[in-house]
Amino acid sequence: MSEPKNRMAQSTGRFAYEGLERVFHEKARLGIMTSLISQPRGVIFADLKELCHLTDGNLSRHLQVLNEAGLVEIWKGYHKKRPQTLCRVTEDGRRRFFEYINVLETVIKDASRAARASNAGLSAADGLSPA
Query: Does the residue 77 lie in any domain?
Result: yes
- Write down the H helix ranges in the chain: 2-10, 27-38, 45-52, 56-68, 91-119
Query: Does the residue 129 lie in any domain?
Result: no
∠ Cα 69 56 46 (to 5°): 90
Show pLDDT as tens, one digit a residue, over the chain (131 residues). 444 544 544 556 778 887 778 888 899 999 999 999 999 999 999 999 999 999 999 999 999 999 999 999 999 999 999 999 999 999 999 999 999 999 999 999 988 888 887 776 655 566 666 66
Sheet hosting strand 82-89, strand order edge to edge = 43-44, 82-89, 72-79
Domain, as residue range, for 46: 19-117
Listed residue (37, 52, 124) closest to 61, CA to CA:
52
Q: Are 60 and 74 in contact (CB under 8 A)?
A: no
Q: What is the CATH number of the domain that holds 65?
A: 1.10.10.10
- Write phi, then psi, for 78 (nearest 5 degrees): -130, 145
Query: Does the residue 130 lie in any domain?
Result: no
Q: What domain count does the chain have?
A: 1
